Chains A and B, each alone.
Chain A
Amino acid sequence: TQLLEQSPQFLSIQEGENLTVYCNSSSVFSSLQWYRQEPGEGPVLLVTVVTGGEVKKLKRLTFQFGDARKDSSLHITAAQPGDTGLYLCHGSSNTGKLIFGQGTTLQVKP
C-alpha cells in the first residue's frame, strides 16, 4: 500500500514567519500535487510537480519535488492570515492509484 505522510499535522504561527510542510513516501510517484482547502469548501489545486528535483514558485509559496520523486516540500515565506487552511499533498502513481496525505492544518495569526 502506498502511503503519503505529511508533517507537521498542525502548525500555528504568527504573520510574517516562514514555514515548511513536508510530504514523504517510500513509493515513487509520477507526479505530485499540492492542494489548499478552506473550511466548507473542496480542495483547490496549487501546483503539480513532475520531474525529480523540480522547483516551482507561486508568489510566496515554493514547491520542491525530491530527486527520487518520493517526497516533496512546500515552503511559505512571510506567511499571511490568508494562507490559513488545510494543505494536502496528492501523489499519482503510474498504476493510476491516487493517494492523499492526511493534510497539514496551518493557522496564521495576525
Chain B
Amino acid sequence: NAGVTQTPKFQVLKTGQSMTLQCAQDMNHEYMSWYRQDPGMGLRLIHYSVGAGITDQGEVPNGYNVSRSTTEDFPLRLLSAAPSQTSVYFCASSYSHKNWFFGPGTRLTVL
C-alpha cells in the first residue's frame, strides 16, 4: 500500500493564481482531512470529509474548496492564492475519527 500520497511536494504561486493540491489514499478510509501547518501554530484543520460526497469546514476554511467524489481522492483547491496561504499542507486519512495517517506534505509558497 502507498498509504496517503500528496502531489506536488513543492509549489510556488503568484498572488491570484489558482491551483489544486492532490491527495489520494489506498486504504479504503472513509475519513479524510486537510491541515495547514505554520510555525508556532501547530496543525489547523481546513476541511474534512466523512465519506464520498460529504464534506465539512474545519477551523480555517476561507479561501479553500474541497470535494469528495470518490473514497480515494480528496483534492484541495485554492481559488485565488494569497501570501497568507504560504504554508505546509498535510492530507490525512483514517478509518475512524481517531487514528490518522498523514501524507508527506505539500510546501506552498505564494509570492
Footprint of B on A, CB under 8 Å? 9, 31, 33, 35, 40-45, 48, 88, 90, 92, 96, 98-103
A90 with B100, Cβ < 8 A, contacts A98-B33, A98-B45 known? yes
Q: Is the CB of B97 within 8 A of A45?
A: no
Q: Is the CB of A43 within 8 A of B99?
A: no
The secondary-structure label for the interface of chain A is: strand
Cβ–Cβ < 8 Å partners of A100 in chain B: 35, 42-45
A102 with B40, Cβ < 8 A, contacts A43-B102, A44-B102 known? yes
Cβ–Cβ < 8 Å partners of B41 in chain A: 102
A48 with B99, Cβ < 8 A, contacts A41-B105, A43-B90, A98-B48 known? yes
Q: Is the CB of B90 within 8 A of A101?
A: no
Nearest chain-A residue to B44 (Cβ)? A100
Nearest chain-B residue to A4 (Cβ)? B42
4 residue pairs, one from A and one from B, having the closest CB atoms: A42-B102, A102-B42, A100-B43, A103-B42
Cβ–Cβ < 8 Å partners of B92 in chain A: 42
Q: Is the CB of B50 within 8 A of A33?
A: no
A102 to B100, CA, bound (A): 17
Nearest chain-B residue to A47 (Cβ)? B99
Nearest chain-B residue to A89 (Cβ)? B42
Tell me if B103 is interfacial: C-beta within 8 Å of chain A.
yes
Q: Is the CB of A33 within 8 A of B99?
A: yes
A92 to B: closest C-beta gap in Å: 5
A40 to B37, CA, bound (A): 12
Cβ–Cβ < 8 Å partners of B104 in chain A: 41-42
A31 with B103, Cβ < 8 A, contacts A100-B42, A101-B42, A102-B41 known? no
Nearest chain-B residue to A98 (Cβ)? B45
A24 to B: closest C-beta gap in Å: 14
Cβ–Cβ < 8 Å partners of A35 in chain B: 100, 102
